[in-house]
Amino acid sequence: MDSKLALPVGTTLDRFIMRKEKDFPYATGELSQLLRDIALASKIVNREINRAGLLDIAGAYGNQNVQGEEQQKLDVIANIRFIRAFRNGGEVCTIISEEDEDIIQTGNPHGKYIVAMDPLDGSSNIDVNVSIGTIFSIYRRKTSQGCDGDLTDCLQRGVEQVAAGYVIYGSSTMLVYTTGNGVNGFTYEPSLGEYFLSHPDIKTPKTGKTYSINEGSYNSFPQGIKDYVEYCKSNEYSARYIGSLVADFHRNLLKGGVYIYPSTLKAPNGKLRLMYECNSLAFIIEQAGGKATDGVNRIMELEPTSLHQRCPLVIGSPEMVDKVTEMLKKSEAALVQA
Ligand code: AHG
Ligand code: MN
Ligand code: MN
């Protein structure tokens, strides 16, 4: 069968990955295996998340589980699960994780890939039964195989990503990813333990009427962002802000909209992290026909200088991102003239 034919809704993730691999004549199968490792780890994390409320009840007698270990927070559990999957898988040499200050060596010096991840995004929503997620980026290492990865491997620009994706643990659990050939979304069927293709070749609407920003910080936004918020209000746009980047992004990706985390007085570089939040979602939105900037520059071209560096983020439907950029530019120009 021609591997380039579109695969039908309902195709399992494993079959999808296998078919896509055939489009690359020199593929060794390692990236495919790495994507499968991520899918497997996400199923385990999904299980832990679904049990979260029950764990509280089970832990009410003292915060210890049956092995006598202290109960851990879900973002720590997710971090452990994903790292374990990469250690066991063998394709990844080095990991950047939001939960660890330094790079993590997997003990697989022959691994070709670097992973940057936010194992659990939306931490303030973990305890209140609201959608949360996992975000990841995959890079090819720069150093040669056979030794540990180093900072030159880890601090690559977003344009160097070979794959990126996220898992949203929501009313259903979905895995959405790209390898640079469009974006596909898979929905998890828990009774079968499988992801199935449910959203083939996702394209984001060119524009929308939803804006997502934490308006509580309005007073400390740059003038251009204040102007944009006023513009949204005067056009009766809908404000939607869950506080889980993955969930806000996912809704806007499918329905059209813009997500903004600007610089604020408290956080001059914004809050979100370049390596495992902004770049990953920027790759996905661009593959879906959208845009991602820091207000001025394309996110994927930013030069990373540290593992956990932050940057402002304006991401979503292309015409909406353009409008934000235009308003920021205008207010900057007015400031220079004044
Ligand atoms: P994380 O839970 O991984 O630290 O990320 C939280 C992020 C993001 O998910 C969300 O959009 C944003 O923080 C919310 O921040 P504010 O509460 O400042 O709006
Ligand atoms: Mn996050
Ligand atoms: Mn996180």
202 — alpha (psi -120 to 50), left (phi > 0) or beta? beta
Q: Output the pLDDT for position 333.
A: 87
For residue 265, what are its two tokens?
Answer: 């007085």
How many Å lie between the centroid of ligand 3 and the Cα of residue 154? 18
Q: What is the number of other CB atoms lying within 10 angstroms of the CB of residue 46?
A: 18
End-to-end CA distance of the chain: 65
Low-confidence ranges of the chain (pLDDT < 50): 1-3, 58-62, 65-66
252 marked as binding residue: no
CB-defined site of ligand 1, < 6 Å: 98, 118, 121-123, 214, 243-245, 271
Nearest residue CA, atom 15 of ligand 1?
A: 243
Q: Output the pLDDT for position 63.
A: 52
Residues 180-224 pLDDT 10s: 999 999 999 999 999 999 999 999 999 999 999 999 999 999 999
Q: Output the pLDDT for position 181.
A: 94
29 marked as binding residue: no
Q: What is the CATH number of domain 210-337?
A: 3.40.190.80
137 marked as binding residue: no
Residue (of 156, 88, 142, 82) closest to 112 by Cα position: 142
> From residue 184, how far is each of 187, 197, 250, 270, 309 by CA, in Å?
10, 7, 12, 29, 28
Task: Determine contact, residues 160/146, Cβ cutoff 8 Å.
Answer: no
Q: Output the pLDDT for position 124.
A: 85
Q: Give dist(CA 112, CA 145) in Å, integer.
A: 7
How many Å lie between the centroid of ligand 2 and the Cα of residue 326? 27
Pocket-testing residue among 244, 249, 250, 315, ligand 1, by greatest number of atoms within 8 A of Cβ:
244
**Boundaries of every domain in the chain:** 13-199, 210-337
Q: What is the CATH number of domain 13-199?
A: 3.30.540.10
Is pTM beyond 0.85? Reply is yes
Q: Give dist(CA 135, CA 98) in Å, integer.
A: 10
Which ligand has the minimum distance to the alpha carbon of residue 97?
3
Structure letter (DSSP) for residue 237: P
322 marked as binding residue: no
How many Å lie between the centroid of ligand 3 and the Cα of residue 134? 8
